[in-house]
Structure 1
Amino acid sequence: MATGRTDVPVEVFLDSVTHRVRRRDADTLLALMQRVTGEEAYMWGPSIVGFGEYRYRYDSGREGVTPAAAFSPRKAASTVYLLPGFAEDSELLERLGPHTTGVGCLYLKDLAVVDLDMLTDLVRESYDFAVRSAG
């Protein structure tokens, strides 16, 4: 997620999502992440909806800022961004429902077939980790 926070209103971006399922899922993810984080949504780059901030610093000295929780309604699937490496071994993923993963990414094609309680728990664990790490 190497871009930055923008001033584009989240609603303007979400109104541009034309895929029916991605648009519906974006509304669900927006409400879910606002509830979990207690943060207002903002745009991170042209297509990522972010909540809160996570400041990181690698052993190499490289540092930066990224959303503490985020999602993007991509063409192929909705992407939920979790802290890199955070959820790969999580037992929550086993009970989530149909999904695929990448480094720090959870790809969901249809939230209607996903256990939203498990998704909420995944987002909460990742967000809480980000908040604890920042303190």
Structure 2
Amino acid sequence: MAKNKTNETEANVIDFINSYVDNDQKKEDSFRLIELMREWSGFEPKMWGSTIIGFGSYHYKYASGHEGDAPLIGFSPRKAAFSLYVHCQEQDSEHLFNELGKFKISKACIYVKKLSDINIPILEKLCKTTIEYVKKNNDCAC
């Protein structure tokens, strides 16, 4: 079975942002996301793999037998857009996407260019919904 590539590391989150993010607005948004996600999750930021900043953690196990650990919520300040790891499968949260603002979505994350493109109170609701979903459906270290 394949080993997970994205594990919690001891790398410093602030050092990562200062060295990886080369755009002042993205850097400012990264620090703001850290403040917000820390507040919403109650957890300190940790690096996961080389580019993901995560908050809290949970253990998952798929029907296939593959299992591992992942952050409850998190983000990565990628070059093209932020990857926000806050999408959950709860149908009750689908209506929130209509109010979120300018974004793209995949199965695993939401992509936004900058924080000013989205409605922060709606992002908060999505993050909290994600955390509650994970708590109900996985072994959570929260």
Q: Quick check: TM above 0.5? A: yes
Ranges in structure 1 where 5+ consecutive residues have no aligned partner: none
Q: Per-residue displacement from partner, 1:18-49 (whole Å, max 9, x unpaired)? A: 11222121111101110011001100011100
Distance 1:128 1:22 in 2: 28
Ranges in structure 2 where 5+ consecutive residues have no aligned partner: none
Match of residue 11 from structure 2:
8
Pairs aligned (count): 135
Distance 2:51 2:25 in 1: 16
- Alpha-carbon distance, 1:76 to partner: 0.5
Match of residue 130 from structure 2:
126
TM-score (ref. length: structure 2): 0.87
Matching of residues 1-135 of structure 1 within 5 Å: 2-16=5-19, 17-83=21-87, 85-86=89-90, 90-133=94-137, 134=139
Amino acid at match of 1:8: A
Paired residues of 1:25 and 1:78 also in contact (CA < 8 A):
no
- The more displaced of 89-98 and 68-77 is 89-98
Give identity over the alignment, percent: 33
TM-score (ref. length: structure 1): 0.91
Paired residues of 2:13 and 2:53 also in contact (CA < 8 A):
yes
Distance 2:135 2:22 in 1: 33
Distance 2:25 2:125 in 1: 22
Q: Per-residue displacement from partner, 1:95-118 (whole Å, max 9, x unpaired)? A: 000000011110011111311000
